[in-house]
Structure 1
Amino acid sequence: MKETFLVKHAVGGRAFIDTGKHPVPYTWEQQGEQWLFSVQMDQPEQIAELLKWKDELNVFVFQEFENEPTRKLWFYVSGDGVQFTEDKGELTIVATSNITYIPDQFSAQ
């Protein structure tokens, strides 16, 4: 399985992180009723811009399988769920809900 991790500005659609274009180390896991994303980043300008919009971020994980359609997971993030620990170079994002969908299962009527 190939996975792409995206962090986007919800309103403008601008991507702050897109591992399909610029790989960065990240992990994610479900913890109870929320999801924790940890991203290693050392680009202060990019972090500063992302943090300006922390109240309007969405997180996406695209999972591509060899013999199945791509699965897209869309996570909703609240502003207090975004933190950056400068000495570790670690961005932490906590999502409180998500939607999983398979684009191939939707069609125009």
Structure 2
Amino acid sequence: MKETFLVKHAVGGRSFIDTGKHPLPYTWQQDGDQWIFTVQIEKNETAELLKWKDELNVFIFQEFENEPTRKLWFYVLQGPVRYEEESKQLVIVAQSKIEYIPDLFSTQL
């Protein structure tokens, strides 16, 4: 499985992080009713993102060899978004998740 991690301002807005274009080490895990994303990134690369920290969407695209792509959409409602200087990590906490497979949506009426 290939996985791409994106952080965007709003749904159709500016992309701040896109590991499909610029690979970065990241992890994500569920913790109760929220999801925690940790990204290894230099502080100077987070300045614009942190300005919009209350309006972020996080996406995980999971591409499988013999299955349709699965998209997971996370929204940062009031979760903390912070940069930890000591570990050089951006931490994003999201509270909302929608999972979908775009191939299952039809445009036929």
TM-score calculated relative to the size of structure 1: 0.93
- How many Å apart are 1:78 and its aligned residue? 2.7
- Mapping for residues 1-109 of structure 1, pairs under 5 Å: 1-10=1-10, 13-44=13-44, 46-108=45-107, 109=109
Flag the 1:21–1:35 CA change in 2: closer, same or farther, 3 A: same
Structure 2: state its 5+ residue gaps: none
> Percent identity, aligned pairs only?
70
- How many Å apart are 1:43 and its aligned residue? 4.7
| Runs of 4+, deviation exceeding 3 Å | none
What is the distance in 1 between the residues matched to 2:54 and 2:94?
12
Structure 1: state its 5+ residue gaps: none
SS in 2 for 1:78: coil
Paired residues in the alignment total: 108
Over the residues paired in the alignment, what is the CA RMSD in angstroms?
A: 1.3
Contact 2:76 2:94 in 1 (8 A): yes
Equivalent AA in structure 1 for residue 6 of structure 2 = L
TM-score calculated relative to the size of structure 2: 0.93
Flag the 1:107–1:12 CA change in 2: closer, same or farther, 3 A: closer
Which structure carries more strand by proportion?
Answer: 1
